[in-house]
Amino acid sequence: MGKLIYSMITSLDGYVADERGNFDWAEPDDEVHRFANDLERTVGTHLYGRRMYETMVFWETQGDDTDVGRDYARIWRAADKVVYSRTLNRASSKSTRVVRDFDVDAVRRMKAESDKALAIAGPELAGQALRAGLIDEIALFVVPFIVGGGHPALPHNVHVKSHLVYERRFGNGTVFLRYETVHS
């Protein structure tokens, strides 16, 4: 059975993007990117909302300008992708299907049938999965940058008990934190 992992880069004050949607402060250096690549190797399927998919589809045709970028692009291209969108008619990447609505039971089946991890990205979609008790791990790359407001990494009004199971500090000040959620 595959674990469902919510993984995001977040500012020190808990945002994935500032009030204008800018996230250039979140670009990982090579050390952080290599570590993230190694985490991504365990993922067989990515679950995205439309906006996150439109950000990530960059890796379908680009990202080949550095060794670490080429490595990530190969990993991303090889994974299956599910995009939840009511407005996107078709995907612009291979191994990708568009689904109109987030279906809790369908995600449970995906987890049960997978021998690899599933990754969910985007705070809104992850919020739905957290509320439904589907997320097994929360993995955050906390960047030492305060944006002062914007799009929160974690949803409001959701209560999920978790335990810290791993942490790693990087030379640029970024800290990786991995929590297992506690399902009662």
Model-level pTM?
Answer: 0.94
pLDDT, averaged across the chain:
95
- Does residue 14 come out as left (phi exceeding 0), alpha (psi in the -120 to 50 range) or beta? left
Q: What residue type is 139 in one-letter code?
A: A
In a domain, 156, yes or no: yes
Contacts of 33 (CB under 8 A, 6+ apart): 68, 69, 72
Confidence of residue 22 (pLDDT cuts 50, 70, 90): very high
CATH of the domain at 64: 3.40.430.10
Looking at the domain assignment, is residue 47 inside a domain? yes
**What are the structure tokens assigned to 36, written together?**
């993230």
Which residues make Cβ contacts (< 8 Å) with residue 118, sequence separation at least 6? Answer: 2, 3, 4, 5, 43, 44, 45, 46, 47, 107, 110, 111
Q: Is residue 53 part of a domain?
A: yes
Flag whether 22 is in a domain: no
Range of the domain at 111: 4-10+32-171
Residues composing the chain: 184
pLDDT of residue 157: 87
Please tell me the total count of domains within the chain: 1
Residue 113 lies in a domain: yes
pLDDT at residue number 79: 97
Mean pLDDT of 77-91: 94
* 111 located within any domain: yes
Rounded to 5 degrees, what are φ and ψ at 61? -125, -5
Q: Provide mean pLDDT across the span 38-46.
A: 97
Residue 35 has a pLDDT of: 98
Residue 19 lies in a domain: no
